[in-house]
Amino acid sequence: MIAAGGTWLSWRSEADGAVTAIPALAGASLFQAKGCAVCHTGPESAPRVNTRVSLRNAPEWAATRRDDTSAEDYLRESMLDPTVFTSPAWEGAGPFDAMPSLDLDEAEVEALIDFLLHRDAA
């Protein structure tokens, strides 16, 4: 069983119940590995295609996009179900009609949120 906690994953062996902590993949690495950097400007990168959808200053705007939605919840929803809300920054330019669904687990979502909100410890 794997459980997320900050920038660490805990692995509990089914055989002997021992717990081993391993570092989670850092948000900056995930931003590249999951393809976010193809279309989005990130805190530390420029996109490969120009969609004009910047995530660079997420701490400044993420909590303002939807009423009664925190920055964390807005980013989480955008990653897990990108069809729920279309960003006002989206101008329909790029390789997709909209943001594609990503195959992210809970630890990856949390690492990406920490990265985008400049809380990435790695």
Which tens digits make up the pLDDT trace of 95-104? Answer: 566 677 788 9
pLDDT-derived band at 61, boundaries 50, 70, 90: very high
94: nearest Cα among 40, 45, 34: 40
Per-domain boundaries in the chain: 25-116
- Going by the DSSP 8-state scheme, the letter that residue 61 receives in this structure is H
CATH of the structural domain 25-116, one choice from 1.10.287, 1.10.3470, 1.10.8, 1.10.760 = 1.10.760
pTM as predicted: 0.71
| pLDDT over threshold 70, residue 25 | no
